[in-house]
Amino acid sequence: MQDWWRGAVTYQVYPRSFQDDNGDGIGDLPGITRRLPYLAELGVEVVWLSPIFRSPMQDMGYDVSDYCDVDPVFGSLADFDALVARAHGLGLKVIIDQVLSHSSDQHPAFVESRENRTNPKADWYVWADPRHDGSPPSNWLSVFGGPAWAWDARRKQYYLHNFLTSQPDLNYHNPKVQDWALGILRFWLERGVDGFRFDTINYFVHDPLFRDNPADYRVKAEAEANPYAMQYHLFDKNQPENLIWLGRIRAVLDEFGAASVGEVGESHHAIRMMGEYTAPGRLHQCYAFEFMGYDYSAAVFRDRVEEFFKGAPDGWPMWAFSNHDVVRHVSRWAEHGMSEEALAKQTGSLLLALEGSICLWQGEELGQTDTELAFDELIDPQGIAFWPAPVGRDNTRTPMVWDGSDKGGFTTGTPWLPIKPPQAARNVEGQLGAQGSVLEHYRGMLRFRKTSALRSGRTRFFDLGEPLLAFQRGEGEGAVLCLFNLSPVARAVMVTGVGAVTGPSVAAHLSGDRLTLGPNAAAFLAVTGVVTVTV
């Protein structure tokens, strides 16, 4: 199917934390392969693997030293090939992370580039002379804190690093770098992957004049925990040349019938950028962090969805509530839930009812929460740098819990991050087949999405006011009315033009035209005529 990705549900696997089969406490490819039937039976269609490439692991694999080999901690290329074959045999697609905006400082190209200004790789990374006072060439900041420039005494120049100093940025103004990156894509496509998730897709190209970023125009009462958010990032990323580069990526993907997902890391105009980046001839789909904040309101969900489809009728979004970089949403939105379980079911229902493609972060289907970690338990450099800010990286990346044993069925060794009692209580074995469990609710929602207008129907919203969210998916026969009470207090609405409550609805009861929505209710109703919804 040509557009297999459109409306599909992707499951993000964090390889270090999914399943360890060799007992070293770190997840691996054979472990993932063994657990693929679980994902197929869950009902997802695509598996996204976070980075598995050779890496010094300064940023848990997002610092790549060899893009065409598997890091031994995860296994081998043969293990990867076996994983892809098993996934395809189960009807699952496989996409893998590509971290191409920057590499590890141990990558051979950077080792060569920093030797002098005349070597063949001299212009493969972003180098710049100091200002006359010796300071960096611009005021650009690193996402991980401090300046985005590091001094190199060999070249007597600064190099750009938008993240760790050990993650130098590649220079995509250089056509040779673009050609090299396309060669990496071909290597993995020829091994059978079905596509890529592109990390930090809007960071590829920088302003060649190194102009200073202005301060964020939004007034801030006090300094942010991370000062990166205090700038309006006009020049260090989001450059128009980036769109031309995306066209080259798309051409290669089209040769193989492969799909792409782009991560838009931006706090300004992210929805607009998602549309631009998924225009015809660019990426297939993009996601941003619009639903990964602390706002749990009907207005936010409605505004972002309407904004995308109004601004980009030919684009395509991917929506997610959590991933490996943020606090899990059941923890983030806890104040809006009658209980964690009720909130987990509602958020699963809402996410899977949205128009677009969907990404589930591993453990969401269990109602998993963030793990409370002490400072000495942290590994993530971002978490350490900004302690005690709740940056949600190690806290959200703790191992998947498969059963109620002391190590959760994840490993026979010592888990690389601890599994604590609140997380251990939310395990697969304890929920699988258990009526009313979060896991069984997700399984039901995934089946419902596949077989209803939730997969491809267009969206029409109704005006109800907070905390009620209502929209219709599709028109005519098969259309579905979706209603959500985004609060822990019961509400009621009057509805016409619908049949009985259907699908995996939660805490909803229809009596005549009166629909009672209990705390954190999710209601799905078959459309039988012209729908009206009033408070």
Identify whether the C-beta of residue 500 lies closer than 8 Å to the C-beta of residue 445: no
List the structure tokens of 249.
């990526």
Q: Which residues lie below 8 Å from residue 477, measured CB to CB, with a gap of 6+?
A: none
Number of CB atoms found within 10 A of residue 502's CB: 15
Locus of tokens 């493609």? 357
Q: Specify the 3-state DSSP secondary structure of 31.
A: helix
Number of H helices, E strands in the chain: 14, 18
Q: Specify the 3-state DSSP secondary structure of 128.
A: strand
Chain centre distance of CA 188: 21
- Residue 429 annotated to the active site: no
Locus of tokens 């950077």? 110
Identify whether the C-beta of residue 284 lies closer than 8 Å to the C-beta of residue 260: yes
Identify whether the C-beta of residue 202 lies closer than 8 Å to the C-beta of residue 266: yes
The Cα–Cα gap between 323 and 532 comes to: 36
User: Hey, which residues does 516 pair with through a beta bridge?
Assistant: 492, 509
Q: Among the options 199, 236, 340, 370, which is catalytic?
A: 199
Number of CB atoms found within 10 A of residue 388's CB: 8
Amino acid at 468: L
Identify whether the C-beta of residue 195 lies closer than 8 Å to the C-beta of residue 261: yes
Q: Specify the 3-state DSSP secondary structure of 125.
A: strand
Among 532, 507, 533, 510, smallest CA distance to 520 is for 507
Q: Among the options 129, 255, 295, 372, which is catalytic?
A: 255
Q: Specify the 3-state DSSP secondary structure of 151.
A: strand
- Residue 255 annotated to the active site: yes
Amino acid at 121: K
Number of CB atoms found within 10 A of residue 355's CB: 22
Amino acid at 217: Y
Catalytic residues: 199, 255
